[in-house]
Amino acid sequence: MTSLSATIKDVFNEPSCAKNATKSEAEKKKGCTKQLQPGGAAGGCAFDGAKIALQPFTDVAHLVHGPIACEGNSWDNRGAASSGSSLWRTSFTTDINETDVIFGGEKRLFKACKEIIEKYDPPAIFVYQTCVPAMIGDDIVAVCKAASAKFNKPVIPVNAPGFVGPKNLGNKLAGEALLDHVIGTVEPEYTTPYDINIIGEFNLSGELWQVKPLLDELGIRILSCISGDGRYNEVASAHRARASMMVCSKAMINVARKMEERYGIPFFEGSFYGIEDSSDSLREIARLLILRGAPEELMERVENVIAREEARAWAAIAAYKPRFKGKKVLLITGGVKSWSVVAALQEAGLELAGTSVKKSTREDKERIKELMGQDAHMIEDMTPREMYKMLKDARADIMLSGGRSQFVALKATMPWLDINQERHHAYMGYVGMVKLMAEIDRTLYNPVWEQVRQPAPWDRPGDSWQDRALAEIAEEEAEIAADPVRAEAARRAEKICLCKNVDLGAIEDAIREFGLTTVEGVKEKTNAAAGCGACAIKIEEIFEASDIVGLPTDAQTIAAE
């Protein structure tokens, strides 16, 4: 039994994580301790990450050991879909109280397990650790072990109390729980050469079901999906799959990698978002299965299905061309790879006004340039004001983005379509892209946007608050442009590292002062890129773009002022 801290360290060393691979030895030791910034608006905790990763297992009782806060706020908050049991939606918690905090909550947890088994008899119970019982020393691993033995039923400890770190760490710790206690504990009734695992897919809005018929048609069996519409016994027998697909999110990369290590199951990272991506993923599944001994003819059948589905999807998408003519899209995405959607948008005749590249890699950016041309408007971070200005200049008719930008978009009178997790439509697979076009069409032609964009009719032209705000921006920009000192200051004030709050000027100064040539160096001197690391690309671009080393001294003087 590994301790929690050992598990965390292990997770941090994940060799398949691209981010880890770029780290120095010293940093690796420190782990992904993306120190949460006190006072900042925080994302979810490790517990939340673990819970959302495992919650889509539908026939399992998910028991949260802690005070009401943890389960009370997270009960059934994801739109994952189940084709069977709805037990996963039933909220189980030990709801510990003051007495438990003083005397310990282990007995209550044990009893809660007993009562779940008596009342529901699920194939397994997942017990989630939270901050309070972890702090008072409740040993959930021991309790789960005792309960498993006593009731002859898998009771799985998911040891990811909130304080150990952010949501993403929780995802990974959830994966560790599966690896330690679940995967490999049950043998499947039968196996086929076409058995695969899909890892890191949560069947949001039932979107996996849009792809599954194609796999069924090809005779490819999803032996287990972790964790969308998952069943306990399926994931427990996942070790018999021939290949795994790691869905683009890196949330559970450790599961895929360790299953390869332990059971020799090869995996690839793929996605079913976008037409090309779907085809690539199907091909990759076939390739790996054939590699593991499936008949060669599989690939031919896959190619046939791809050809058919692509033709259908492109035809359906092309039908939107007349309605989308001249319409411009602003694409702001987090999880979904921009370029995989860009191709479909362009096929439908939409113009890309810009796309976000915040989480994109260098290759992604290159790909976008290829698709959109050199003058592609790539947006690193867009303030609501910039977003608004872009709209006002008629550079976008609609914004596609995640739910987080929703309210900003609306306040900025920007037509908006949700393409991230909490959406209510499934965009996966070939039909998913067609569905996306249908939704874009609905959104573009929804009369509410006209309403949203128009100021109150009694506002005099040029005198609405929006006009005033825009005028202010223009004025400010003009002033800055006219004043070289302020222009330089504004240029230098651009935030490069959001985690550590480091601006361009500080980085340039450091580069000059210490003659830096690498991101590592910049990090050491300025602390930039020491948080999530996403700005490393931006720092590289600073090296590329500037002749900073040779900056004249008078500019340095200006900078010093």
Partner 1 sequence: MTQNADHVLDHFDLFRGPEYQEMLANKRKMFENQRDPAEVERIREWVKTPEYQELNFKREALTINPAKACQPLGAVFVAVGFEKTIPFVHGSQGCVAYYRSHFSRHFKEPTSCVSSSMTEDAAVFGGLNNMIDGLANTYNMYKPEMIAVSTTCMAEVIGDDLNAFIKTSKEKGSVPEDFNVTFAHTPAFVGSHITGYDNAMKGVISHFWDGKAGTVEKLERVPNNSINFLGGFDGYVVGNLREIKRIFGLFGIDYTILGDQSDVWDTPTDGEFRMYDGGTTLEQAANAIHAKATISMQEYCTEKTLPLIKDHGQEVVAFNHPVSVKATDNFLMTISRLTGVEIPEELAKERGRLVDAIADSSAHIHGKKFAIYGDPDLCYGLAEFLLELGAEPTTVLATNGSKTWEKKMQALFDSSPFGKNCKVYPQKDLWHMRSLLFTEPVDFLIGNTYGKYLERDTGTPLIRIGFPIFDRHHKHRYPVWGYQGGLNVLVQILDKIFDTIDATTNIPSKTDYSFDIIR
12: left (phi over 0), alpha (psi -120 to 50) or beta: alpha
Q: Which of 32, 60, 81, 437 binds partner 1 (CB under 8 A)?
A: 81
Binders in 190-219 for partner 1, by CB under 8 A: 206
> Residue 201 phi/psi, 5° resolution?
-120, 130
Whether 8 contacts 173, CB under 8 Å: yes
Closest C-alpha among 394, 393, 406, 408 to residue 443? 406
Is 458 a residue that touches partner 1 (CB under 8 A)? Answer: yes
Residue 472 Cβ vs partner 1, minimum distance, rounded to whole Å: 19
Question: Letter for the amino acid at 89?
Answer: R
Is 462 a residue that touches partner 1 (CB under 8 A)? Answer: no
Residue 554 Cβ vs partner 1, minimum distance, rounded to whole Å: 49
For partner 1, give the closer residue by CB, 271 or 443: 443
Q: Which of 5, 19, 42, 76 binds partner 1 (CB under 8 A)?
A: 76
Whether 190 contacts 66, CB under 8 Å: no
Report the 10 Å Cβ neighbour count for 246.
26
Residue 550 Cβ vs partner 1, minimum distance, rounded to whole Å: 51
Which one of 72-80, 257-265, 276-284, 374-382 is the stretch in contact with partner 1 (CB under 8 A)?
Answer: 72-80
Q: Which of 197, 405, 443, 526 binds partner 1 (CB under 8 A)?
A: 443
Alpha carbon 497 to its chain's center = 20
In our burial notation (b when 16+ CB lie closer than 10 A, e otherwise), range 216-243 reads: eebebbbbbbbbbbbbbbbbbbbbbbbb
For partner 1, give the closer residue by CB, 183 or 426: 426
Residue 18 Cβ vs partner 1, minimum distance, rounded to whole Å: 32
Residue 419 Cβ vs partner 1, minimum distance, rounded to whole Å: 13
Is 422 a residue that touches partner 1 (CB under 8 A)? Answer: yes
Q: Which of 262, 442, 468, 491 binds partner 1 (CB under 8 A)?
A: 442
Is 83 a residue that touches partner 1 (CB under 8 A)? Answer: yes
- Its sign, for the CA torsion 248, 129, 179, 187, is negative
Whether 176 contacts 258, CB under 8 Å: no
- On the 0-12 / 13-18 / 19+ scale of CB atoms within 10 A, 5 is exposed
Which one of 108-116, 390-398, 444-452, 496-504 is the stretch in contact with partner 1 (CB under 8 A)?
Answer: 444-452
> Residue 454 phi/psi, 5° resolution?
-85, 135
Whether 373 contacts 343, CB under 8 Å: no
Which one of 161-169, 251-259, 340-348, 456-464 is the stretch in contact with partner 1 (CB under 8 A)?
Answer: 456-464
Which pair of tokens denotes residue 525? 């001197």
Is 233 a residue that touches partner 1 (CB under 8 A)? Answer: no
DSSP lists the bridge partners of residue 128 as: 64, 158
Binders in 375-414 for partner 1, by CB under 8 A: 410-411
Alpha helices (H) along 325-398: 338-347, 362-372, 384-392
Residue 411 Cβ vs partner 1, minimum distance, rounded to whole Å: 7
Is 227 a residue that touches partner 1 (CB under 8 A)? Answer: no
For partner 1, give the closer residue by CB, 51 or 257: 51
Is 79 a residue that touches partner 1 (CB under 8 A)? Answer: yes
Contacts of 280 (CB under 8 A, 6+ apart): 270
Q: Which of 424, 461, 550, 561 binds partner 1 (CB under 8 A)?
A: 424
Q: Which of 4, 10, 44, 75 binds partner 1 (CB under 8 A)?
A: 75
Question: Letter for the amino acid at 122?
Answer: P
Residues in the site for partner 1, rule: CB under 8 A? 75-77, 79, 81-86, 206, 410-411, 422, 424, 442-443, 445-449, 451-452, 456-458
